[in-house]
Structure 1
């Protein structure tokens, strides 16, 4: 699948909203076209963790893309966020979570892949059972049936047997399970390093060049 095709990003109701905002900013910075959707639970987590009120039908994308964590001191991170705000009108297409008439609900709409970040347990369950109850699970099902990349980023601990079974089923169907489990070997110097480790690994899976982390052996 061509890198020129858009990417789908779904934000659901697991903890770790900061991973999603940073990922969205970097994708905009890389001039990738993004089709974005947010579940009501995802919006609730964004409000709880980031302090942003997000309307799941007409979100303030400037606020979402311009978010900078209060602990961030890096001028580079702030610059990427500011740049993402300037670029999103051309790069980000938003779809309501229950709108099945959008392009990403159909396999005939070509994409380079889909990322669910963070991925809640209920979203994982719906994907693993092919039980689409909203646009997010429908789009994920489309990516599996079309044999395109589907990256699921769960953030849960401990993990129940049922969740493990759902992960196994999703992986068997072709999904890539990429839990938000940051490493500590890349010269961690603050919380931004932890966030960027996970975001870098996601970007690697969708072939977006990045230098967010110090790679092993480099």
Structure 2
């Protein structure tokens, strides 16, 4: 499987980094990474990773300015693309078909080739423009995947939350890494006794 991984400048850079770490350790997955200029700033500000360490997590890396990169063409066959996190600027560029940098161009290619595109949108609260852009892309088959934490899995720390969200994210591509004890299987018998209907 070949996946394009985009990291934009929205807060939440750790999601993209952790995604790359998990995919690096996943058999038969080849990753093609592009980070926006603001992603580089955000990674430096929010994490302890250097930019070179993040680049090394991917099989291939492209400059966001390189619109001649392999991933800018539909003739380069990939299985899909994930942008994690996806800023509202990137969302708007994709929605308008602007293709003004390699992240937006690669996403545009996913749309025209009818390939899976998953956007981990990061903003709160959302205004009408954000919502309209998400709806427009959702109606085109894009998966809008905001990083909502789950609590049924009893996360012990922030790493647990990040991991669970990333595991759910890659499951969109049939990659099952979620530990069985973290999968929702319904209320336990003990809990059901306390529920009145």
Distance across 2 between alignment mates of 1:97 and 1:126: 14
- Superposition misfits of 4+ residues, deviation over 4 angstroms: none
Q: Which runs of 5+ in 2 are unaligned?
A: 187-197
Residue from 83, 90, 112 that aligns with 1:123: 90
Q: Is the 8 A contact 1:167 1:177 kept in 2?
A: yes
Query: 5 Å matches for 1:31-110?
Result: 31=27, 32-54=29-51, 60=52, 63-64=53-54, 88=57, 92-110=59-77
The root-mean-square deviation of aligned C-alpha atoms, in Å, is 1.6
Distance across 2 between alignment mates of 1:106 and 1:28: 24
SS of corresponding position for 2:131: helix
Distance across 2 between alignment mates of 1:51 and 1:195: 15
Partner of 2:115: 148
* TM-score, normalised by the number of residues in structure 1: 0.80
Q: Which runs of 5+ in 1 are unaligned?
A: 55-59, 66-84
Partner of 1:80: none
Distance across 2 between alignment mates of 1:38 and 1:211: 26
Partner of 2:183: 215
Q: Which has the higher contact order (CA 8 A, sep 6+)?
A: 1
Q: Following TM superposition, by how much is the alpha carbon of 1:51 offset from its aligned partner in structure 2, in angstroms? A: 4.0
Task: Answer with 158-167 or 181-190: which moved more.
Answer: 181-190
Q: Following TM superposition, by how much is the alpha carbon of 1:52 offset from its aligned partner in structure 2, in angstroms? A: 4.0
The aligned length equals: 184
Q: Is the 8 A contact 1:14 1:45 kept in 2?
A: yes
Distance across 1 between alignment mates of 2:105 and 2:87: 15
Report the structure number with the largest CA radius of gyration: 2
